[in-house]
Amino acid sequence: MAVTFTPDQQATIDARDSSILVSAAAGSGKTAVLVERIIQMVSDAEHPVDIDRLLVVTFTNAAAAQMRERITQALSGRVDANPGNAHLLKQLTLIHNAQITTIDSFCLYIIRNHFDEIDLDPDFRVADDGEIKLLQQDVLADMLEEYFAAGDEEFLSCVEYFAPAGKEKRLEEQILGLYEFAMSYPWPGEWLTGHQDDYAVTEDSLDECSWILLLKSYIRSMLEEAQELLAMTKRLCEEPGGPYMYLDTLEADGLLIDRLLAADTLEEMYEAFSALVFGRISSKKDESVSPEKREQAKQMRNGIKDLLNGLAKKYFSASPRVQAERMAECAPYVSRLLALTEDFRIRLDGKKREKNLMDFHDMEHMALQILTKKTPEGVQPTATALEMREFYAEIMIDEYQDSNLVQEYLLRSISGEEEGKYNRFMVGDVKQSIYKFRLARPELFMEKFDRYGKTEGKERRIDLKQNFRSRRQVTDSVNACFACMMGRDLGGVEYDRDAALYPGASFPEPEGQEEGDVYETEVLLTAAGEDGLDDREREALAIAGKIRQLTGTLPVTDKETGQLRPARYSDIVILLRTTANWDETFKKVLEECGIPVYITSKTGYFAATEVQTILNFLKVLNNPLQDIPLFGVLKSEAAGFSDEDIARMKAETGAEGRRLYTCLTVYATEGTQEELKEKSLLFLQLLDRFRRYVAYMPIHQLIEEFLKETGYLYTVSALPGGEQRRANVEMLLTRAENFEKTSYFGLFHFIRYMEQVEKYDIDYGEANVQDENADTVRIMSIHKSKGLEFPICFVAGLSKKFNMQDTMKPVIMDMDYGIALDYVDIDSRVRGSTLKKAVLSGKLRRDSLGEELRVLYVAMTRPQEKLILTGSCKDAEKVQRILDEGGAGLVAASDTPYGPGRLTFTLRSEASGYLDWLLPAWAVCGQQVQILTASELLQEQMGEEQGREQLKARLLSFEKEAARRSAGEENEEIRLLRERMESVYPHENLKNLYTKTTVSELKKAGMEEAAEEAYHLFEEKELVPYLPRFIREEEKVSGTARGSAYHKALELFPFAEYAGRLGRKAAGGAPDPAEVKAILDRMTEEGTLLKEFREAVNPGKIAQFLESSLAARMAQAAARGRLYKEQPFVLGLPAKTLDDSFPEEETVLIQGIIDVYLEEEDGLVVADYKTDSVTRSQELINRYQVQLDYYARALEQLTGKKVKEKIIYSFALAAEVPLA
């Protein structure tokens, strides 16, 4: 079916012989329009263009591939309709070589075809980020070493200025930061040298600086804002019930602002702001004046005072003379820092040439060098550029708002505009420019947006405003919010009628409901409370509840049929500003609630245990005297050392300050415990063997050999999340192979390579083993979502604060205004901001806020059917108050071009997070906001009271279904696996021989025949599903948890304080249940006893125990310092003592924890508390005789003292049970 285009879209497709800027709003179908324009140009009957004569530049490889595919399909359709058309058939051949590409691929194409023009070896290689970072570090280290060796005074003073007290790393960071920034300029060397005199100013020349003009413009705009706020305050005072008595003071305030506005030079502005004194408002009382309006007027005036005082403090705390003197003192250091950076750039460029490699910046600059030349007349095209101008019929640029200056010069050089051939076609949306961190220049877009006319001409602007993605409810919400928040002053563009979204798609409406009610935008804010959840968990819980509410009920449009169907998990996406520290929390909570989740933008590769273990092993090979990596390897499954092993080793060999490796080597020869001694020796042999491998084995083979010899890959594969772990290890092998293709080699450099990759956040993300097409809820970053669309979209984490770290750095960089830094008195170490630093810091903050506003716009324009905004709030009452006031005093003017009115610039520019914008915007536009407490979250999820039990049952059935499948329904693969699993091992007698086991396992295995006859060898635990925390809190405590609770309570009980009071015959009597309850409550209040444990313990049962003779003996022992509780132990026994069939030479380590033992004059007493539900003492004897026997044996071996008694105290029987 033929696509029908809107008039604006058709105009975009048809326009010829013009340079065209298409301002394409979100969801406006720009890709379809671009593809159709290409097809029309290629298939034009009168003036057809070959597809390879069109240069189409996209932002990503994926976008380029998608566009090539769409064009190919469209051409194939034309060929099918006209099989004899030779021109179209030719296009299907040319499409494979057509330049539909990213800017870096296009640059590479230019370099490979014209390498001789810049004297480049054609066998060059593109280096990866890790290798480039290593090379930068090496070149910089060598350069600084030379300077230090030369002892140049200017250099040394520069070091002292930027990196005092031996903190030379700071200087390195400044140089690298400046280098990266300068490389986004077309001629980086020119930028670095051109700004070396930026701080060489005098008082007279200060007013002529370009950045002072920026300051003056900003000050004027803020003063005009103050005038507007003052006018609003006056209007409030003049209303019926308004505080009219304030008007005289407000008039005086107006005169102050007029004087500030009249100041022209910096000196005049300084004098005006220095003389700033505000009068007191009238204290006259009048009952006709509304207290609310009086208070509101006070707050509005205070806002004006704060605004003006803030300007005075930030920019006029010192006179222009003092400011110029401070800057003049900084000038040598600015010049020297930029000179060092330029020297570094030249050296690095030389080293890259020497190694014949390049990075992304080099691609752009080398391509620019091939296409342009600098002359006194300006930038001129080279002969190569002129050839390309002649060849390309049109230059098409997608996502033009994210271009930088280098790319602008590149594409301008091969367009024909300078010769009257207007053939640039630029598509973008400045409201979606979100790559400031890549030094994008949205100003390039806006310069043409303002200059190009909206009528036909050589330079033409076409606005695509209709949104074909979203329902009206979504576009209405976006328009209402951004009309309040976005403007040219913050965000880069006026959100007026030209910028607004107009719904253009038709959606089927659900029957039996008022039109669109179910699709209205929702806002969910969670209020902080004493629920044990942090803000992220609470917000995720709210999202989980809403997802449950929407899935299966909200009608969404099926992509295939165009008909409504119930929403599925795969229709839902959760967008986050940053996924770091958020995605895993959300995933955990949602999965606890039974909601499947897929994380599309993962980080955390270097934090994965299996990756850390292998890297730590390599670090130990390189230098075994590194304690932390060695400890990590020893503790891993690859080596198998326990905490107790390492503690014993250190205790027996670790003289103060001795390295762990030294302890290991000493213990391997002199250790007292044979098993640990042998383990230490085996590990050292492994280490020695691999250190020999290092000399000749490639890194990836070294890792493979480690996996093979230790079986580590199989071990991690068997752990929870084994598939993911295995994929991470295999990914590390791939990275090692890639490293071997770089100019570096060897273990030392591989370790450095990986450290640089981790340090500079070149995080690969964990290897992807999930199916992104499965029916799961997706979590991704807002940046990852750009260009995508989803039926239901949660924009989450709106309470997160903005990252403004860049505004606080010692050196601030700006492409137009150079660099700015603090003033430092080296002698006194006093630091203060220079005027230029204050100006550029403020500009950077406003630019960053504008970027954040555009990021929010991208997020809110992703949904097709429904938008839900979520966050958390610390002060729910304050939030409600803002919403109730309806934006009073927050809107700068009621006559803005579009919408209900824009929020004041002061409010918008002082925002610290999205909610600082959204809350007043919602108040102004009347958006309903739901603030949920913890209890309301549960109600939202589960409805009526019985809903909690229904949800429990649902989760339980989910777990039981999984268990039933694993136990019952066997497919052929499982049947074959079972046959293999049930085959008889020929050495059956050794199957239970473990290097280490626990007393509990020996007890379970029933080493005594009597226990075997009376009980199952392995007690079958009741299947308990893993339920969300909010449900688990309501559960009855399991038997195991109850036992732990009693053990913990008695571990904490202050027995020594009750010596002489415990036991039935004690004077004064043991504590009664009420006193015990008070003791337990105090433990909970102090945070030593968990609330769940406290609720599981019956104070009456503890009181009964305290009347026992065992309790009395424990109290007496505690008073003497001879009571020991929760004591861990490791016991080495000949394997033959456990089973006669085991070899005599084998040893088994048994570990466990003794609940309590006490020392009396004639020996030790071992005791254990049991909460088992029994009716006879013999049941406990049968179950636990083995366990206490091992406890006794361990104590005797470790202390050298005789165990005279073994006692179980049964809470069920309220009695002591002696054991033989």
Q: CATH says 503-600+778-805+869-936 is which class? A: alpha beta
Task: Give the 3-state DSSP-derived string for 355-381, with helices as H, strands as E and coil as C.
Answer: HCEECHHHHHHHHHHHHEEEECCEEEE
pLDDT at 896 over 70: no
**Interstrand relation of 1147-1160 and 1163-1170 (parallel, antiparallel or unpaired):** antiparallel
CA distance 621 to 643: 22
CA distance 444 to 441: 6
CA distance 597 to 586: 9
* Best CA proximity match to 469, nearest among 500, 502, 493, 435: 502
Biggest CA pair distance of the chain: 115
Residue 827 in tokens: 């002698």
In the predicted model, what is the mean pLDDT of residues 905-926? 92
The rounded mean pLDDT for the chain is 85
Residue 345 in tokens: 């750039």
CB atoms within 10 A of CB 499: 24
Binding site members: 24-31
Question: Strand, helix or coil at 504?
Answer: coil
What's the pLDDT tens digit per position in 1091-1129? 777 888 899 999 899 889 999 999 899 888 899 987 777
DSSP letter for 904, please. P
Phi (first) and psi of residue 987, to 5 degrees: -110, 60
Using CA atoms, how far residue 62 sits from 59, 100, 126, 130, 779, in Å, is 9, 11, 20, 23, 20
In the predicted model, what is the mean pLDDT of residues 1086-1091? 76
CA distance 1199 to 1164: 10
pLDDT at 1067: 59
CB-based contact 1101:1070 (threshold 8 Å)? no
CA distance 919 to 164: 44
Among 357-371, 577-591, 1005-1019, the minimum mean pLDDT is found in: 1005-1019
* Best CA proximity match to 503, nearest among 547, 468, 527, 531: 468
Among 53-57, 572-576, 686-690, 1091-1095, the minimum mean pLDDT is found in: 1091-1095
DSSP letter for 433, please. -
pLDDT at 362: 95
Residue 189 in tokens: 């060397």
CA distance 1030 to 1012: 40
CB-based contact 1030:952 (threshold 8 Å)? no
Could you write out the DSSP letters of every residue in 985-1003?
A: PTTGGGTT--SEEEHHHHH
pLDDT at 766 over 80: no
pLDDT at 913: 95
Instruction: Tell me how far apart the terminal alpha carbons of the chain are, to the nearest angstrom.
Output: 90
Residue 1016 in tokens: 């199952």
pLDDT at 995 over 50: no
pTM: 0.74
CB atoms within 10 A of CB 944: 8
DSSP letter for 1071, please. P
pLDDT at 996: 47
Amino acid at 530: E
Phi (first) and psi of residue 269, to 5 degrees: -65, -40
pLDDT at 1025 over 50: no
Sheet with 54-58: list strands edge to edge. 99-102, 54-58, 394-397, 424-428, 19-24, 459-464
pLDDT at 1023: 35
pLDDT at 964: 43
pLDDT at 977 over 50: no
Length of the chain: 1220
Could you write out the DSSP letters of every residue in 550-612?
A: HTTTSEEE-TTT-SEEE--GGGEEEEES--TTTHHHHHHHHHHTT--EEESS---TTT-HHHH
pLDDT at 969 over 50: no
CB-based contact 430:494 (threshold 8 Å)? no
* Best CA proximity match to 1209, nearest among 1143, 1149, 1155: 1155
DSSP E strand boundaries for 705-834: 777-781, 790-795, 811-814, 818-825, 830-833
474: Cα within 13 Å, side-chain hemisphere: 31
Domains 7-124+358-464 and 503-600+778-805+869-936 agree in fold: yes
Residues forming beta bridges with residue 1216, ordered by sequence position: 1209
Helix (H) or strand (E) holding 393: none
In the predicted model, what is the mean pLDDT of residues 75-80? 92
pLDDT at 114 over 60: yes
pLDDT at 372: 96
Characterise 655 by phi-psi region: left (phi > 0), alpha (psi -120 to 50), beta (else).
beta
CB-based contact 522:47 (threshold 8 Å)? no
pLDDT at 1137: 63
CA distance 72 to 79: 10
Instruction: Report residue 87 CA to chain centroid gap.
Output: 51
CA distance 1127 to 700: 44
In the predicted model, what is the mean pLDDT of residues 1195-1205? 88
DSSP letter for 319, please. -
What's the pLDDT tens digit per position in 628-682? 999 999 999 889 899 899 988 888 886 667 889 989 999 988 888 889 999 999 9
Among 392-401, 603-612, 712-721, 782-791, the minimum mean pLDDT is found in: 603-612
What's the pLDDT tens digit per position in 793-829? 999 999 999 999 999 898 999 999 999 999 888 777 7
Task: Give the 3-state DSSP-derived string for 1101-1143, with helices as H, strands as E and coil as C.
Answer: HHHHHHCCHHHHHHHHHHHCCCEEEEEEEEEEEEHHHCCCCCC
Highest-confidence segment of 23-27, 577-581, 1042-1046: 23-27
Inter-axis angle of helices 835-860 and 472-485, nearest 10: 170
- Taking the domains of the chain in order of start, what are their residue ranges? 7-124+358-464, 206-280+289-323, 503-600+778-805+869-936, 609-759, 944-983, 1029-1219
Portion of the chain with pLDDT greater than 70, in percent? 85
Res. 326 pLDDT band, cuts 50 70 90: very high
Characterise 947 by phi-psi region: left (phi > 0), alpha (psi -120 to 50), beta (else).
alpha
Among 106-115, 672-681, 805-814, 984-993, the minimum mean pLDDT is found in: 984-993
Question: Domain spanning 609-759 has what CATH number?
Answer: 1.10.486.10
Inter-axis angle of helices 405-414 and 360-371, nearest 10: 30
pLDDT at 572 over 90: yes
What's the pLDDT tens digit per position in 133-162? 999 999 999 999 999 999 888 898 898 888
CB-based contact 775:643 (threshold 8 Å)? no
What's the pLDDT tens digit per position in 584-593? 899 989 988 8
**Interstrand relation of 902-903 and 891-893 (parallel, antiparallel or unpaired):** antiparallel
pLDDT at 1027: 36
Res. 1081 pLDDT band, cuts 50 70 90: confident
Residue 53 in tokens: 């004569």
Res. 511 pLDDT band, cuts 50 70 90: confident
Q: Between residues 939 and 734, which one has the greater pLDDT? A: 734
Binding site members for ATP: 24-31
Residue 825 in tokens: 């008195």
In the predicted model, what is the mean pLDDT of residues 483-497? 92
pLDDT at 1013 over 70: no
Phi (first) and psi of residue 526, to 5 degrees: -100, 135
Highest-confidence segment of 165-174, 505-514, 700-709: 700-709
- Fold that domain 7-124+358-464 belongs to in CATH: Rossmann fold (3.40.50)
CA distance 266 to 318: 11
Could you write out the DSSP letters of every residue in 916-957?
A: HHHHHHHHHHT---EEE-HHHHHHHHH-STTHHHHHHHHHHH
CB atoms within 10 A of CB 422: 19
* CATH fit for domain 1029-1219, picks 3.40.30.10, 3.40.50.2000, 3.30.70.580, 3.90.320.10: 3.90.320.10
Residues forming beta bridges with residue 1218, ordered by sequence position: 1207
Q: Between residues 1035 and 1208, which one has the greater pLDDT? A: 1208
Helix (H) or strand (E) holding 1106: helix 1099-1106
Portion of the chain with pLDDT greater than 90, in percent? 53
CA distance 764 to 758: 9
In the predicted model, what is the mean pLDDT of residues 345-372? 95
